[in-house]
Structure 1
Amino acid sequence: MSKKFKRSYRFALRTAFYISVFLSGLMALILYIDFSSVLWVLIFFAILTYLFSFLIIQYRVERFIYRRIKKVYDNVTLLDSATLTPNQITTDMSSLTREVKKFAENKKLEIETLKVREAYRKEFLGNVSHELKTPLFTVQGYILTLLDGAHKDKAIRKKYLARANKGVERLIYIVKDMDMITRLEVGDLHLNLETFDVVELIQASFDLLEMKAARKNITLTFDMDYIEPVYVRADRDRIQQVLTNLIVNSIKYGKHGGTTEISIENLVRNKIIVRVTDNGEGIAKEHIPRLFERFFRVDKSGSRKEGGSGLGLSIVKHILEAHGEKIFVESVFEVGSEFSFTLEKQEKVSEVVAES
């Protein structure tokens, strides 16, 4: 009980003690000195008592609040006690209210961030599990069928082994893409920067994907005839991967008899912008902010029939960010989409010759 009493009234007792000592000393001084005027004594006593009481109460209250706020700072890792000074503390508790409010807002923001990350983690793990599970079960099914006796038939054995091999190739494809994204995120992927003609690179990508586009009767074309080369400074192989992924994506979601068109425009003095435009399905507005997330698919069922790892756009984004460039997307649902990205332009042909 005494412990609780001391904890509750220690501040008031000490403050009353300091005032009592001062008043007793002041009274002793007045009695010791012979004053001729009683009124003057009363005025002098009242003024000194008022001033001292104000100072001692103000000082004691400020130190009392400051120590306890500092204890809150020291006990909560989100608050830095080094930023707190005694001058911030006032008897109206405004500093305490402000700091507690700031702490509550920071804590709420942290909780919301953790909720978003947890939701993303669950979705990401679910997507990874689904992407790996399908080819794994496919391979396992064919192997089990062969073990059950189908291996005795040469034709069935060859067919099932070929299908199992396709499943393994898909697994390797997914793992390689995930490994590349991880290396890009940690900055562990080396870029071999060189100067090259981006028009020639786009044409090479068209030639590579011509048969894939032909199956859906999609035309791969430039917006105009580029007679002069357009030189850029980048990693040729990685930019070809960017172009390939964007063109494949436009074919995958393009309509039969549609068009995938690429244009090259000057953006600023040392930058160009490459636009990949199609007249396919388009993307709903609510899906655009998540397009570059790993394994995110607008149409989960339809896109899986088309194949792919679900990592193509994420890889595109990370490759361009590794170059210090940006990618943009504009789309209208059921009208078409346009993906565009910037590259560093190389102005003079002489610079290319000198580097070669």
Structure 2
Amino acid sequence: MGERKHDVLKRALILWCLLCAAGQGAEYAIAVSVDGLGSTYLQDLVDAGRLPNFKRLLEEGAGTTNARTDYDITVTLPNHTTMVTSRPVNGPRGHGWTSNTDPAQGVTIHSQKGAYVAGMFDVAHDHGLRTGMWAAKTKFSLFKVSYDAEHGAPDVTGEDNGRNKLDVFVYGKTCAELTADFVANMRTNPCHLALVHFGEGDAVGHTHGWGSAEYQAALATIDGCLGQIMDLIATNERLRGRTVLLVTSDHGGVEKNHGDAQLPLDYTIPFYVWGAGIAKADLYALNRGARASPGGGRPPYEAVAQPVRNGEVGNVALSELGLGPIPGSLLNARQDLRLRAAVRKHRK
């Protein structure tokens, strides 16, 4: 434990020096996934003044409401595995997890793939950083077992921080409960890299329909939880000015489902980054030549012009922490998604 603490302090000092020199980046990266948050519903409610914290995110962050899910599958667990690993679901370089139910005992992402599939928590943990996941659904136990002390990969980077890649794992709770636990943890012993998953929008969508009054009320509840996290980042002495917040979704929805990967209402989602050094900007405008707005289309992974995708979360978060990409990843593997406008240098 003493060696790990020393490693964390050493890395924090190096990272702080790099941040001061670069004038950008973060010490903490928090990814929030709002299950079932379709962009059409989000924008309509923001425009109607129903979601003040999402409005703040859209008005102050760098992002787009025209991001994309995985190309082949628009359901929860495969898309969250894509976020964690920055890999598509299918194909030779995909993570291969297609099930959307609680995993059977002992089954992991790696056993399904037939090879170890590294995730963002591997990279952060192996560099001595603290990691955590807070998730609404019990099926997210997949990540706990896949990256625990038995199934996680050996740490061969610097000090040996062990095979368990998730220091904190909380699941099966409501938005309010998850937020309370997350905020308390971040105030006392903050995670450098965290993923928070809110599930009410999806649950209500399946019961009452996407866009229904009940769905809108669920998003309003989540908006309040998001506001607590944003306020924490803005006011906490340790986090203020040192934290980036990434907000995206696994899929949208239409009527009472979201399983058709060819439907725009299913595959069109938001992707926003807010916090340290981030100013309001359109991600497609910032990334001309590297990303291209898909309009209403659904570009495959083979297309030359790629949209912003939810699967970029892992490598974006690591890049903000000053770390390299996830081994074996495909999405944003070059970590070239720009979040800030270039600083124009003037001649002396």
Q: What is the TM-score with the length of structure 2 in the denominator?
A: 0.22
Q: Which structure has more RCO (C-alpha within 8 Å, separation ≥ 6)?
A: 2
Q: What is the TM-score with the length of structure 1 in the denominator?
A: 0.22
User: Larger Cα Rg: Structure 1 or Structure 2?
Assistant: 1
More helix by share: 1
